[in-house]
Chains A and B, each alone.
Chain A
Amino acid sequence: MTNRYFSLEEFQALFSDRFASQEEMLREYAFFLSVLDQLEVAPVPELSAWEKEEIFRRSWREPSYESSRLWTWFAFLRRPAVTFALGIVLGCVLMSAVTGNRLELVRPAAADQPLTVEHMGYTQAYRGTIIDGLYPQIEDPRIVLEGGDQSAPKRVLYGTINNGEIDVVWNL
């Protein structure tokens, strides 16, 4: 008996430059062929009819469409690009929650607007042309309300004078 799948061509392809002569190659081929024949002729004991029925009885269960749909979603979410994008979104949400800031997805208001409000946790900063008009002698004035929910929030005016040389912090 000779192995049906172990052809001489396949053997030559596997060991193309290994043998010095044709005789040596054929000798080696015969050796491997005999080894594979030994493995091939070894009997594989068959399962009895009872064993087959028992294996089927234990393994049969109706496939679930629900689980297949869930699996499809799970497979989609496991794709690297999707996982990466979800990770970034989740990171942004977590960061926002930790720092207490709302996500600012719009550009900050222009400086020449009448009044803009910046929310930063428990403080709110008011700036704009109205505030500029109230304190014309102060450069870049802004009023910061600190204290959030307290009944009497602390109001502080921040700004500079003399071309930024002197900082102004004034409790209103």
Chain B
Amino acid sequence: MWMNRHDSVSDEALIEEIRRGDRDAAACLYHRHINRVHRICHRIVSDRSEVADCVQEVWLKVFRSLGRFRREESFVAWLNSIAVNTSTDYWRRRKRHRDRVAIEDAQPESLPSNDPIGGQRLDDMLVHRRIQQVLEQVSVKQRTALILRYLEGMPLPEIARVLGCREGTVRTHIHRCLLFLRAKLAGKRKQ
């Protein structure tokens, strides 16, 4: 666990010290937010092999552009915005080049199907994979809006700022994404 003298310092104060070249302050800020950045990247990119690169690119951008960060805005919102935009870029690139992943690739061999607990986990895993596959078919903005709202718990105004659109548009993205999920998963999900 990362512990140092900066632990009780606010993000804004850390940023001031980072601007003066303090590496420890940068490490503290990084360790404070790395898990959330990683979670956002993982949920949007959804390809483990690329998530670490994506996270690294996010932090490269953060440290490179901290000089442009304005005091009056929230650092977390600014960081979220970089993480989301970098992840959606990765997602778009991946979507262009990836191979289709078959549902059979869910590695079921490690879960014995005659074991009731293992069988339930296998079932959940397949359902989850199916939902992921459907989510990959919707537009990146719809998908990102849904993830940020219901998995990350971001308020609508912040999502709107991150995606560069109005709150009403975010609602429309979420609405369409849910309808698409409903249409594709109808009858395949346990009620």
Given A35-B181, A59-B63, A71-B67; A27-B124 close (CB under 8 Å): no
Q: Is B151 an interface position by the 8 A CB rule?
A: yes
Q: Which of A36, A44, A46, A67 contacts B43 (CB 8 A)?
A: A44
- Point out the residue from B60, B64, B151, B191 that lies within 8 Å of A27, measured CB to CB: B191
Chain A residue contacts of B39, Cβ below 8 A: 44
Interface residues as binary, A15-55 with B (CB distance below 8 Å gives 1, 0 otherwise):
10000000000011011101110111110111100011001
Which of A2-10, A128-136, A137-145 lies at the interface with chain B?
A: A2-10
Q: Which residue of A13, A30, A59, A65 is within 8 Å of B60 (Cβ)?
A: A59
Bound together, the chains give a CA A47 to CA B37 distance in angstroms of: 11
Contact A68 B67 (CB under 8 A): yes
Bound together, the chains give a CA A72 to CA B70 distance in angstroms of 12
- Which of B6-14, B18-26, B73-81, B94-102 lies at the interface? B18-26
User: Whole-angstrom distance between the alpha carbons of A4 and B153 in the complex?
Assistant: 8
| In contact, B153 and A61 (Cβ under 8 angstroms) | no
B84 contacts partner chain A, Cβ-Cβ < 8 Å: no
Find the A residue at minimum CB distance from B147.
A39
B59 surroundings in chain A (CB, below 8 A): 55-56, 59-60
Q: Is A107's beta carbon under 8 Å from chain B? A: no
B182/A32 in contact, CB under 8 A: yes
Is A63 engaged at the interface, CB distance under 8 Å to the other chain? Answer: yes
State how many angstroms separate the Cβ of B64 from the closest Cβ of chain A: 7
Name the interface residues of B1-60: CB closer than 8 Å to any CB of A. 18-19, 21, 23, 26-27, 30-31, 34-35, 38-39, 42-43, 48, 52, 55-56, 59-60
Cβ–Cβ contact A14 & B48, under 8 A: no
The main secondary structure of chain B at its interface with chain A is helix
Q: State the Cβ distance, B101 to closest chain A Cβ, in Å.
A: 15
> Which residues of chain B come closer than 8 Å to A72, judged between CB atoms?
68
A36 to B48, CA, bound (A): 21
The residues of B that contact A79 with a CB separation of less than 8 Å are: none
What's the Cα separation between A28 and B189 when bound, in Å? 12
Known: A38-B124, A55-B56. A5 touches B149 (CB 8 A): yes
B interface list, Cβ under 8 A from A = 18-19, 21, 23, 26-27, 30-31, 34-35, 38-39, 42-43, 48, 52, 55-56, 59-60, 62-68, 124, 127-128, 131-132, 135, 147, 149-151, 153, 171, 174-175, 178, 181-182, 185, 189-191
Query: 12 more A-B contacts (CB under 8 A) besides A38-B124, A59-B63, A62-B21?
Result: A14-B178, A27-B191, A31-B191, A36-B150, A47-B52, A55-B56, A55-B59, A56-B26, A56-B27, A63-B63, A65-B67, A71-B67
